[in-house]
């Protein structure tokens, strides 16, 4: 452990940022109270519902009005803070936001949050590589501030920057085109012919909502045929590959007239305060001249031509275990993994990262971590998968969280979470219209029961 208390910046006051701040505050002998930067005026991140989204890409939240969780609250909760047991298993998004508000106050995080404060840039301070510290430049309406930290936890999520695939002729299409990021409620699509591209949780949810209002809904997706019977006015089609002024063209050559296309195609990572490439220089802030090198080298190894992060592909800089920057281990990305149960996972990631900072969980050398990250990227590329899926865990999340706990020696997640996750996935695949009618009760770390 360091001889002095470490100062840590937390970027974002959504679930990952709140959890990180809570765990920092729980270690007062090792850490000073955190500084949590939040660009909006409240906690909750993506769980904050914004009624009028327009088509402004600065809109942060992707929440739609009637969304209910696609996971039961029994596995969503932080292990040290349960949901209200009187709630059903599948809850409205407003209940999740209330939960995060209560979590914030229970663990006294709120006094440490700088609301309406945007992080403009972060950059490392020269020093021994493993001990690099950080300058964080933030701005409000009134001022620009530079602060110094021993470490940074990036907790900004990945549901704010839509990923929109290229579709031949889409600029000629005269109908409405939007991403699910901007979808809020189905009534505005009454009597329309709507194509929903993507059959992930959001795509299926939105198609089901639209079915009660739209004239016709076409669920367009790539992959195995669906196993459930959709509503009468919902049909299934292959992916959209082209467009004319009044129709969409599908992969099998079918051409269907439509007046709306909704992309449910996921999101890219978007961290505008991180700058790829090497760029040295000086900043002058409040009269202080600061020499810096913007994240020095985002690449893997000297002389290798690797893609930088955030160039439209949706992947991140070289991360060790989807969490720690392999070159600069005092920079952590909490909650960057996809297709996971987020609250329990960030609970594990935050503890792992802080134990590393405390010196209680030694890491391999940066060279070894870089080598592992490079191997993972190359294997992913060779598999033919898109780079935007590099940090997609799915069912591997349980083995991953167990590795974090075992390596850093903290209590692992209860095995019952994986069991509930799997049974929920099966129910959703069988019938995504009614699976939320199920209710569960956790009996102990291993077992659960279904409630009527």
Q: What is the mean pLDDT of the chain?
A: 89
Q: In the prediction, which pLDDT does 160 show? A: 82
Given a cut of 90, whether residue 41 has pLDDT beyond it is yes
User: What pLDDT band is residue 3 in, cutting at 50, 70 and 90?
Assistant: low
Within a domain: 247: yes
Predicted TM-score (pTM) of this structure = 0.91
Given a cut of 60, whether residue 47 has pLDDT beyond it is yes
User: By three-state DSSP, how is residue 322 classified?
Assistant: coil
**Residues in contact with 210: Cβ distance below 8 Å, sequence separation at least 6, in sequence order:** 186, 189, 194, 196, 217
Residues 296, 207: one domain? no
Q: CATH number of the domain that 183 lies in?
A: 3.50.50.60
| 10 closest CA partner among 31, 32, 38 | 38
Q: Find the mean pLDDT for residues 55-71.
A: 82
Within a domain: 452: no
| 264 closest CA partner among 168, 197, 175 | 197
End-of-domain residue from the set 265, 293, 324: 265
Within a domain: 146: yes
Please report, to the nearest 10 degrees, the dihedral formed by the alpha carbons of residues 221, 224, 228, 233 taken in order: 30
Given a cut of 60, whether residue 306 has pLDDT beyond it is no
Residues 306, 412: one domain? yes
Residues 216, 249: one domain? yes
Within a domain: 2: no
Per-residue pLDDT tens digits for 346-366: 999 999 999 999 999 999 999
User: What pLDDT band is residue 168 in, cutting at 50, 70 and 90?
Assistant: very high
Given a cut of 50, whether residue 450 has pLDDT beyond it is yes
Distances (CA, A) of 156 to 19, 161, 222, 271, 374: 12, 11, 29, 8, 24
Within a domain: 299: yes
Residues 329, 185: one domain? no
Residues 213, 331: one domain? no
End-of-domain residue from the set 265, 298, 320: 265
Q: Find the mean pLDDT for residues 162-182.
A: 94
Given a cut of 80, whether residue 369 has pLDDT beyond it is yes
Burial of 354 (0-12, 13-18, 19+ CB in 10 A): buried
Within a domain: 59: yes
Range of the domain at 77: 8-161+268-417
User: What pLDDT band is residue 380 in, cutting at 50, 70 and 90?
Assistant: confident
Number of domains in the chain: 2
Q: In the prediction, which pLDDT does 92 show? A: 98
Within a domain: 39: yes
Residues 259, 278: one domain? no
Residues 55, 139: one domain? yes
Contact 233, 214 (CB under 8 A): yes
Of 152-161, 297-306, 413-422, where does the model show the most confidence? 413-422
Q: In the prediction, which pLDDT does 280 show? A: 41
Contact 50, 41 (CB under 8 A): no
Per-residue pLDDT tens digits for 103-135: 999 999 999 999 999 999 998 986 655 578 999
Determine the distance from the C-alpha atom of residue 169 to the mean position of all C-alpha atoms in its chain, rounded to a whole number. Answer: 31
Per-residue pLDDT tens digits for 239-296: 999 999 999 999 999 999 999 999 999 988 888 898 533 344 445 454 444 444 444 4
Within a domain: 436: no
Query: What percentage of the chain carries pLDDT values higher than 90?
Result: 73
Query: What percentage of the chain carries pLDDT values higher than 70?
Result: 87
Q: Find the mean pLDDT for residues 14-21.
A: 98
User: What pLDDT band is residue 55 in, cutting at 50, 70 and 90?
Assistant: low
């Amino acid at each position: 452990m360091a001889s002095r208390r470490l100062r840590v910046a937390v970027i974002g006051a959504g679930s990952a940022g709140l959890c990180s701040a809570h765990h920092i505050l729980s270690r007062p002998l090792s850490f000073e109270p955190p500084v949590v930067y939040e660009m909006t005026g409240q906690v909750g991140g993506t769980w904050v519902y914004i009624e009028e989204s327009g088509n402004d890409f600065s809109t942060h939240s992707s929440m739609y009005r009637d969304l209910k969780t696609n996971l039961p609250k029994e596995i969503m909760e932080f292990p040290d803070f349960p949901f209200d047991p009187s709630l059903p298993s599948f809850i409205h998004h407003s209940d999740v936001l209330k939960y995060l508000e209560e979590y914030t106050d229970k663990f006294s995080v709120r006094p440490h949050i700088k609301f309406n404060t945007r992080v403009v840039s972060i950059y490392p301070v020269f020093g021994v590589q493993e001990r690099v510290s950080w300058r964080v430049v933030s701005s409000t309406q009134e001022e620009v501030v530079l602060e110094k930290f021993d470490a940074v936890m990036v907790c900004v999520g990945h549901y704010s920057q839509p990923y929109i695939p290229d579709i031949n002729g889409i600029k000629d299409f005269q109908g409405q085109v939007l991403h699910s990021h901007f979808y809020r409620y189905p009534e505005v699509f009454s009597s329309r012919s709507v194509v929903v591209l993507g059959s992930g949780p959001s795509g299926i949810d939105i198609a089901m909502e639209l079915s009660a209002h739209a004239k016709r809904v076409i669920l367009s997706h790539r992959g195995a045929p669906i196993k459930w019977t959709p509503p009468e006015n919902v049909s299934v089609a292959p992916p959209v590959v082209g467009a004319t002024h009044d129709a969409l063209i599908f992969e099998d050559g079918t051409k269907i007239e439509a007046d709306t296309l909704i992309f449910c195609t996921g999101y890219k990572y978007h961290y505008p305060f991180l700058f790829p490439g090497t760029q040295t220089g000086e900043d002058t802030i409040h009269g202080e001249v600061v020499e810096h090198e913007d994240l020095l080298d985002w690449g893997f190894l000297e002389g290798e031509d690797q893609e930088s992060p955030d160039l439209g592909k949706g992947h991140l800089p070289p991360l060790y275990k989807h969490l720690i920057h392999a070159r600069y281990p005092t920079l952590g990305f909490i909650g960057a993994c996809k297709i996971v149960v987020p609250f329990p996972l960030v609970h594990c990631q935050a503890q792992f990262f802080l134990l590393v900072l405390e010196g209680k969980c030694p890491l391999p050398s940066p060279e070894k971590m870089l080598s592992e990250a490079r191997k993972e990227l190359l294997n992913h590329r060779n598999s033919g998968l898109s780079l935007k899926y590099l940090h997609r865990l799915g069912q591997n999340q349980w083995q991953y969280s167990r590795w974090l706990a075992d390596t850093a020696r903290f209590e692992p997640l209860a095995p019952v979470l994986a069991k509930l996750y799997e049974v929920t996935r099966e129910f959703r695949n069988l019938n995504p219209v009614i699976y939320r009618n199920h209710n569960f009760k956790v009996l102990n770390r291993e077992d659960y029961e279904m409630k009527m």
